[in-house]
Amino acid sequence: MTEPATGDPSETLHLADWRRQVADLYAAVRRLLPTDHEAALELWRTTRERLYREHAQSPVPVAGRDAFRAHHYAVDQDLRFHVPVVADEAPEATLPSGGLSAAPALDFGGAAAGSPTGSSTRPPLPIELPVSAGGTMAMRRIGHVEIPFAAGVRQLGVFWMSGYAGGVFIPFRDATNGSETYGAGRYVIDGAKSADLGGDAAHGTLVLDFNFAFHPSCAFDPKWACPLAPPANRLDIPIRAGERLT
Number of domains in the chain: 1
Residue 7 lies in a domain: no
For residue 123, the model assigns a pLDDT of: 62
Encode pLDDT of 178-194 as tens digits.
999 999 999 999 998 89
Least confident range of 82-86, 148-152, 213-217, 220-224: 220-224
pTM for the model stands at 0.83
Q: Residue 73 pLDDT more than 90?
A: yes
Beta bridge partners of 172: 186
Residue 149 lies in a domain: yes
Residue 101 lies in a domain: yes
Task: Give the count of beta carbons closer than 10 Å to the beta carbon of residue 229.
Answer: 24
Residue 141 lies in a domain: yes
Residue 186 lies in a domain: yes
The amino acid present at 103, given as its one-letter code, is A
**What residue numbers bound the domain in which 79 lies?**
73-244
CA distance to 88, 97, 122, 123, 185, per residue, from 119 (Å) = 11, 25, 8, 9, 34
Closest alpha carbon to 239 in 208, 197, 206: 208
CA count, 13 A, side-chain hemisphere, 98? 4
For residue 138, the model assigns a pLDDT of: 81
